Amino acid sequence: MGAWHIEVDENVCVGSGMCAALAPDRFVLEGPAASVVQGAADTDADEVLLDVADSCPASAVTVTDGESGEVLGPRP
């Protein structure tokens, strides 16, 4: 388990590609919705992931603390 955990809600993703542009090592846009790159869901803490969550126009990207489950992003 990494320090942080990232998820994409493919049901609300609008396919903007913002996540894959900002963090192509973590997110991929194939077809209408983005997903987390295989094996990348549990990751070291990385500020860019909070930027991705904040930038997603559909608020489809969630970043949580891998241990506590606390939601870190999108930031309020």
Residues making contact with ligand SF4 (CB under 6 A): 8, 13-19, 27, 29, 34, 56-58, 60-61
Considering beta carbons, is residue 26 or 66 the nearer one to ligand SF4? 26
DSSP bridge partners of 34 = 29
Instruction: Read off the amino acid at residue 16.
Output: S
The dihedral sign for the CA sequence 52, 55, 59, 65:
positive
Minimal distance, residue 36 CB to ligand SF4, in Å: 10
Considering beta carbons, is residue 30 or 68 the nearer one to ligand SF4? 30
Considering beta carbons, is residue 2 or 74 the nearer one to ligand SF4? 74
Residues ≥6 apart with Cβ < 8 Å to 21 = none
Minimal distance, residue 24 CB to ligand SF4, in Å: 11
13: phi then psi, degrees, rounded to nearest 5: -55, 135
